[in-house]
Structure 1
Amino acid sequence: MKIQVVEGRLLEGPDAAATGMDRRAFGEFVGPQGELASYAFGWTTGADPHAGWLTVGIGAGNPGGGTFHARVFDNGGQIAYALTDEPFESVPEGGPDLTADEARAHEDLPFIWFVVDRVMERDRRAWWMRHWVLGTNCIQTLEVFERREPVLLVTHDADDELWQLIGTTDAAASTGKIGHLYHALDADPTLLDVLDLTPGETATRTHVGAQWTTT
């Protein structure tokens, strides 16, 4: 059986202080041997420093079941995780909420980290959170930056790994502006599908809502 990461609902709304947007994404994981897990992760755009949160639950109703919670943060330009005592979300497959010490002592912790790695690789909303946590910069044409043109070309440069967002105006004929990649996604969620471009890859489309072509 192939590993499956099934995206579920995405909840969005102003945070309690009305300083940013709170986003929480949910989904289900099926492992190669049919193992089941539920997950949730999320972030608040007004938070400083940037840190996300995640929950993975296994074994609902079973003695060994549990719900694991962790903080997601930037560790020198790489995503890192730290178990926490503070519960983030409730998920269908989860058992009792575990403290960080209980989670570290749990025999299934290696499987939990395996689930986390697969979710971060395959859930498009996790790519969004990753770029927010890391504060990924990108160069945008002035027309895209000012939201006067849609993004029709996305590149992830091979040499410096810089992201570029280009609209209908040729980049050579436009002024480049530096912005955060997640801000562009806030304005156009259809960019979700190309947030996993590897260095050297390019994605194009004819209009917003059209299928992306990656080369």
Structure 2
Amino acid sequence: MSKRARQMALMGFVSGALQDVARNRENRRLEEADARKEARLAAIRSEERRQDFAQRRELTQYEFGERRAMAAEELAGRMAVADMEIKSRERISAADNKSRERAASIGARPARDTAAKLETYIDDAGKSYTVNTNDPASVRQFMELSGRVNLRPDYASRATNPYGANPAVPTMVPQSAAAGPARISSPTELASLPSGTRFVAPDGSLRVKP
């Protein structure tokens, strides 16, 4: 082989080697660029995951706080309702106790209250008549009867008073003419009037005691 041929062959070898070196460098540069790109993408994905996790955690904490607040409000509401029910039951129980005490008190009252309202009168034949001075109908009936029959208090039947003392005997007080007719509201007042005395009955009519 001639010298020129050897030089050409050497130059071709060197040129090929330089091209290979340049190609390898370009490939490494591209690979490094791709590696940096992947690293940046990985960093971006990592940051996105971190932010997403932080947002999810914040949202979870918020939801947990909201649920806890709602549970606290619901518990407070239930406690308030329970307290109202307890107070209402206490008021009802107190009212029931007062009603029972009142009923027991009324039931325990002695029979002397009823006996004290009754008065007994007799006519000239000895027949007895009983009137309830607290009953307007009984008083009116007695007034009508006293206009037809001469009645006087039956003191013998009142010998024993349930209160422990005998009732006072009505005093016969003459009626003053200037004062006008007396207004009678009970059989006792009527019995205390002398015969022939004018009086005003409970119904407002003017009468004369027989």
TM-score, scaled to structure 2: 0.16
More strand by share: 1
Higher relative contact order (CA 8 A, sep 6+): 1
More helix by share: 2
The structure that has the greater radius of gyration is 2
